[in-house]
Amino acid sequence: MIELYQFELSHYCEKIRLILDYKGLEYRKVEVTPGVGQLDLFRLSGQRQVPVLKDGETLVADSTAIALYLDRQYPDRPIMPTDARQRGLCLMMEEWADESMGVNARKVMLSAFSQNSDLRTAALPKTTPDFLKTIVGAVPHEVLDVLSFGVGLGPETVKAARDAMRQNLEALCLLLTDSPYLLGDTPSLADFAVAGLSMYVKFPTGDYVNLPDSLKGRGVPGLADSAEYQIFWDWRDRFYASFRKVGAPQPSDGGAGPTRISID
Ligand SMILES: N[C@@H](CCC(=O)N[C@@H](CS)C(=O)NCC(=O)O)C(=O)O
């Protein structure tokens, strides 16, 4: 059976899970433990990032390479257009989704968590004792801002990421106003990339990803809940309802000690 080495909360992994579900392929998730589990992944694939796909003897790293491999190997329900122009646009949009949506989404989400105590406590597991929830919620955002600076997320970086995400969401709304999918009447890799890589801006509603119920449907204030981008969020809800399997396989132990889910 196909194995997906993943982080449950990785948006690049979500892109691949969407494609696997769309193609109706059975697969087993292997949850990689951040840090120690990535050493095993390095030994296996020569690099330390997820997603990595193992299909029999074949190992493929990088979400774009995995998507293209799956389409070649399992050509039913193709995700790459055959027309040259459509194919070019698809590859271009996919790269844009990975680099602009994916990278900026991570920055705006981390900033929203540091600014918003409600979002922080929503991310804690259900079993977290109340006193701990109170402490996590009460950390002043100034303290978290200083920590964000430490990982290169100063106010200017966050503002640039937010501006880019606004423009991206506006572009998507325009493209989807009169069209069921980004490239026309059928879903393509561009749609799977955009749907997956918008996960950090707004977590999907419904039981698709293994995350606390309180986070489902929640996201970055001003982007996830703004009427300006409703066309896009409605489109993504429809996309998930059509193609993503509910209650897809649960993460299993990657064999590198206790499994921990974390946002990288
Ligand atoms: N270009 C890669 C990006 C993958 C990526 O950034 N993966 C993150 C998780 S979302 C990761 O593995 N981070 C851990 C690390 O960089 O050590 C792809 O498309 O697969």
- Best residue among 44, 45, 49, 63 to mutate for probing ligand 1's pocket (most ligand atoms within 8 Å of CB) is 49
Q: Give pLDDT, residue 153.
A: 74
Q: List the domains of the chain with CATH numbers.
A: 2-80+248-253 (3.40.30.10), 84-243 (1.20.1050.10)
Indicate the pTM of the whole model: 0.88
Look at residue 248 and tell me whether its pLDDT is greater than 60: no
Q: Give pLDDT, residue 57.
A: 95
Report whether residue 51 contacts ligand 1, using a CB cutoff of 6 Å. yes
Report whether residue 50 contacts ligand 1, using a CB cutoff of 6 Å. yes
Report whether residue 118 contacts ligand 1, using a CB cutoff of 6 Å. no
Mean confidence (pLDDT) of the chain: 88
Report whether residue 14 contacts ligand 1, using a CB cutoff of 6 Å. no
Distance 51 CA to ligand 1 centre (A): 7
Q: Give pLDDT, residue 189.
A: 98
Look at residue 254 and tell me whether its pLDDT is greater than 90: no
- For 180-189, the pLDDT digits (tens) are 999 999 999 9
> What percentage of the chain exceeds 70 in pLDDT?
82
Distance 50 CA to ligand 1 centre (A): 5
pLDDT tier, 45 (very low <50, low <70, confident <90, very high otherwise): very high
Which residue has better confidence, 123 or 233? 233
Look at residue 134 and tell me whether its pLDDT is greater than 90: no
Which residue has better confidence, 40 or 122? 40
Distance 223 CA to ligand 1 centre (A): 23
Look at residue 120 and tell me whether its pLDDT is greater than 80: no
Report whether residue 163 contacts ligand 1, using a CB cutoff of 6 Å. no
Distance 132 CA to ligand 1 centre (A): 30
Q: Give pLDDT, residue 215.
A: 87
Closest CA to 207 of 172, 248, 236: 248
Q: Give pLDDT, residue 31.
A: 94
Report whether residue 232 contacts ligand 1, using a CB cutoff of 6 Å. no
Q: Give pLDDT, residue 121.
A: 73
> What percentage of the chain exceeds 90 in pLDDT?
72
Q: Give pLDDT, residue 258.
A: 35
Hey, which of 148-162, 221-235, 239-253 has the most confident mean pLDDT? 221-235
Distance 1 CA to ligand 1 centre (A): 23
Look at residue 125 and tell me whether its pLDDT is greater than 70: no
Which residue has better confidence, 3 or 121? 3
pLDDT tier, 256 (very low <50, low <70, confident <90, very high otherwise): very low
Report whether residue 216 contacts ligand 1, using a CB cutoff of 6 Å. no
**Whose C-alpha lies nearest to ligand 1, atom 12?**
49
Average pLDDT of the segment spanning 153-178: 95
Q: Give pLDDT, residue 172.
A: 98
